[in-house]
Structure formats: C-alpha cells, structure tokens
Chains A and B, each alone.
Chain A
C-alpha cells in the first residue's frame, strides 16, 4: 500500500458501494429474466427461457420491436448525414453567425423530452398527418442529431487540418481529400455519435409516448404499457436482450476507439 495514495480505504469502500448500487439493477434483472416463476422468488426456482419465448411470441412486442428498429435504422444514418457537414462547417469554417448557429444546433438538448413530444404532436395535428412512425422519426432525428454534432466537433478539433491541405496540395480534389484523409480520421466521432443516436432512437420514451397510438408503438412505449397491464418477467427478458446488445456495443467501442477516447467524445 502506498502511504501517499490519494484516497483512504474508507473512500474506496464507499466508491465500491456506489458501484454496487449502479450495477444492482442490471445484475438483478438478468437473474429475474431467467427465473422459472412468474413472480420474484427467493431463492430462484430454476432456469427458463420462457420469458424470452413470450417476448418473441407476442405480436405486440414483435410489432414494437420492428417499429423501433425501423426508427433507429432511419434516425441513425440521417442524424450522421446531418451532423457530419454541420460539424465540418462549425470547426473548419469562419463565417458570420457561427456561435449563433452552434447554440441553435445544441438547443434541442436542453428542451425536456415531454415538451418536444407535445411540439411534434401539435405540428402533426396542425398539418393533419396524424401520429405514427413518420412523426416519431422526424422528432427523434431533430432531437438526437446534436449529440452526433457534439461528438464529431470534439473529434474534428483533435485533427490536424494540414493533413487535408497536404492532400490538396498534392493535387487531390476537395471531395477526395475529405473522403480519403479526413473521413477515416472521423471514425471515433462517427462511432460515438452514431451509438448515442442509436441508443436514443431505440430507448426514447418521453418523446415517442406522445406520438404513438394503439396501432403504432415503439419498444419502450410497449414495455411501459405491458408493465402496467401484466405482472410477469417478459419485460425483464426484453431488458436482457437490450443489455446484451449494449454490452456488445461497449466491446465494439473498446476495440475500435478505446473506452477513454470514447468518453472524450461524449
């Protein structure tokens, strides 16, 4: 033990306790999802995959899963396509109103989700489109693309513009210099921004709940109404599926950019 260690054993213990608190729900819901009883039983009764079967056999959950995947599959690339040029303009160009544009782009992040939900509900009522997947996609893309801009701006600030200039001096056209020099260096920002947007698109409740109805729901909204109507671990099985997916994402992040680098782009 180093006598000059910054923190005492008591503080380390406290931090460990907080970490246990952080991990408790994740660990617990996993046990619950495989428990062969329709309620919480201590000790666990035995292993089952019943609740996973239940999840995939439920037409409501299947439809909601499909809707959420469609939303994420549109919102994630759309957000990146909006964010990449915007981040380039904000970092690489000097122009009138840059600060104003920057704060305007970040403004959706400070608006509470329920207010954004009500806004897009009002808009779809106004123009008469009604609610459903279209408005959900539009609302989530508007809400989530600033996350991607933020990650890409942080990424671009760390790059040396002279690399692209060198490519230009050597005769590469602008698009080629961008595609072969700058874009590959944006991989961490694209990955970090893409993951934030994707997770937001799959997990968003506060905006989506105002734009879903009995015919079109997304996974979190469906899970919410299931929890209210039934009392069995089917939602725990869904949670385990989502968590396994996020564990895969974290491994992927670590492999491709490193956890520390990822946090710098948060």
Chain B
C-alpha cells in the first residue's frame, strides 16, 4: 500500500531521470574542453568556457536584447490580448464566442513554422503589406529582417496563450460587480479601472508571465524573421553550434541562458504570488 504512489510515479520518475541525465551531461560538458576536429570533449574541469562567454560582447548584448525584446513582446501581447479576452468573457452572443474560441484554438494548434512562414510572406520586402502600400502609391517599409518582424511574429504566437489564460480569470469576476458600479453611475471606463482591472491582476500577471516565458525562449521566429540581425539567446546558441561545433562553449552559453531565464521567471513567480495575495478574488 505504501509503495503504491511511488510505483505509479515510476514511469514519470524514469523520464525525469533521463531529463536529469541530459541536464547533468550538458552541465559537466560546459566545464570541459572541446577536442579540436571532433565532437568529443575532454577534461580537466575548467571555467574557461564561462569566462569567455561572460567576456564576449555579443553574449552580453544578447542577454540584454533578449530581456528587452521579451518584455516588449509581453507588454504588446497584454495590450492587444486584454480587450479580446474581456470581450470574449463578457460577450452575450454564443456563436460569436464560439467563433472566436474556434479561431484562437485553430491558430494555437496550427504550429510555429506555419505562422513564422506566413509572416515572412506577409511582411516581406515584396510581401502582402508592401505590395499593397506600393499599389496605393505609398512608401514601403522594411518589416522583416529586423526587430519589427520578430516582435510582430512572436506577439502573434503568444496571443492565443495569453487570451485563453486571461479569459479563465476574467470569467471568474462576477458580472454583478460591474453592474452594481454601472447602476451607481460609474462610466464604463471607471468600472474597468476601479473594478475589473484590479480584480483581474492575478490572472493578468500569470498570463503575462506565461507570455514572458514564451518570449524569452523564442527561437524560430527570430531565426526566420530576424534574418541574422536580431540576436535572441536561443538563436545565438544555435548559430554558434552551427559555425564552430564547440559543444563546451555552447553548453556554457546555454547554462548562463538558463540561469537568466530561471531568475527572470522566479521574479515573475514571486510577483504572481504577491499579486494573488494583494488582489485576492480575481483568480482562484
């Protein structure tokens, strides 16, 4: 009887063990030295990889760019996603709700490659938007192979996650609270600012930290839409391993990236718990 939970957990623990083994080998390799001309590595343990990554200007600017872009993407996702989630939570029309949910889930399930490619064609120099601008006699813009394209692509990728997470929190806010405020003469804007927004903060924070985690680890979108000009952590790791197969150095980069991501997400997690305490009642 006593062994039962552990027996049930055995397959999961084996999978976690494999994950831990992979993790351990990447951490140990990050302290080794590449054997030139092969994919092999050898000891003795050294901090040289970490030292050289920390000293590299590219690594430093990449860390800053990754954090800055992820923050920008999260804010834009929240600004665009909040009204959609709110209308979805409060709409009285059943078919409209179903249509929007349907569209969000199809987009959500249709995958990253599909969407990154679509944006590449839409935003390209001779893409949909620029051809339409040119046809109207307007100036054209460079929308891909720069940060604009990457930000548009990632925000689009994050929107379904954000909206569906926030929706769950917004649905938990009783409509009667808003109706009371309206009946007492508050304008819609006042109701939003003083009733809906404060109650939705825990849900907003958890939807935003989910988006931030997704934005931090963005890889395919910066790779395809950034055209080598936008350096986010995953891309720099990938390009480094493509150009010189120096696994220890790349492992050190990945290790530092992981620390950066975990610290950022840990801070957001603390914020999430704090906001749930301060604005209790919004989310469960």
Contacts and interface: CB of A to CB of B under 8 A. Distances in A.
Interface of A: 2, 4-8, 11-12, 14-15, 18-19, 21-26, 28-29, 32, 39-40, 42, 81-83, 85-86, 88-89, 93, 95, 98, 101, 104-105, 107-108, 110-116, 118-123, 125-126, 138-139, 141-142, 145, 149, 195, 199, 202-203, 205-206, 209-210, 219-220, 223-224, 227, 235-236, 238-239, 242-243, 246-247, 249-250, 253-254, 259-260, 262-264, 266
B21 interface: yes
A4 B175 CA distance: 11
Q: Which of B126, B127, B175, B219 has the most CB of A within 10 A?
A: B219
Q: Which of B105, B111, B119 has the most CB of A within 10 A?
A: B111
B147 to A, nearest CB: 18
B224 A263 contact: no
B43 interface: no
Nearest to B191: A6
B15 A205 contact: no
Given A120-B22, A199-B111, A264 B168 contact: yes
A40 B8 contact: no
B101 A26 contact: no
Contacts of B223: 224
A11 to B, nearest CB: 5
A263 B160 CA distance: 11
Q: Which of B4, B113, B115 has the most CB of A within 10 A?
A: B113
Contacts of A4: 179, 182-183
Interface string B2-26: 0011111111111110110111011
Interface in B211-267: 213, 216-217, 219-220, 223-224, 233-234, 237-238, 241, 247, 250-251, 254, 257-258, 261-262, 265
B22 to A, nearest CB: 4
A126 B102 contact: no
Given A29-B118, A112-B234, A250-B109, A93 B4 contact: yes
Interface of B: 4-16, 18-19, 21-23, 25-26, 29, 39-41, 80-81, 83-84, 86-88, 90, 92, 98, 100-107, 109-115, 117-122, 124, 126-128, 131-132, 135, 156, 159-160, 164-165, 167-168, 175, 178-179, 182-183, 188, 191, 213, 216-217, 219-220, 223-224, 233-234, 237-238, 241, 247, 250-251, 254, 257-258, 261-262, 265
Given A15-B86, A120-B22, A121-B26, 18 more contacts: A7-B83, A12-B87, A21-B80, A22-B103, A32-B118, A42-B128, A89-B8, A95-B5, A110-B261, A114-B238, A116-B22, A118-B241, A122-B25, A125-B247, A206-B220, A227-B117, A239-B110, A263-B168
A205 B175 contact: no
B114 A29 contact: yes
B262 A206 contact: no
B112 to A, nearest CB: 6
Contacts of B178: 6
Contact of A86 (B8, B213, B261): B8
Contacts of B119: 25
B203 to A, nearest CB: 14
A111 B23 CA distance: 11
A203 B112 contact: yes
Describe B's contact surface by its main secondary structure: helix
B118 to A, nearest CB: 3
A125 to B, nearest CB: 6
B233 A224 contact: no
A125 B10 CA distance: 26
B87 A243 contact: no
Nearest to A116: B22
A6 B156 CA distance: 26
Contacts of A220: 111-113, 220
Contact of B114 (A11, A239, A247, A250): A239
A7 B251 contact: no
Contacts of B135: 42
Contact of A139 (B22, B86, B115): B22
Nearest to A141: B15
A254 B106 CA distance: 12
Contacts of B131: 40, 42
Contact of B238 (A11, A12, A209, A235): A209
A155 B250 CA distance: 40
B220 A19 contact: no
B122 A7 contact: no
Given A29-B118, A203-B113, A242-B110, A114 B217 contact: yes
Contact of B101 (A83, A235, A242, A259): A259
14 contacts: A2-B92, A6-B175, A15-B86, A21-B80, A28-B122, A32-B121, A82-B14, A85-B7, A119-B22, A119-B23, A145-B15, A206-B220, A209-B238, A263-B101
Contacts of A89: 4-6, 8-9
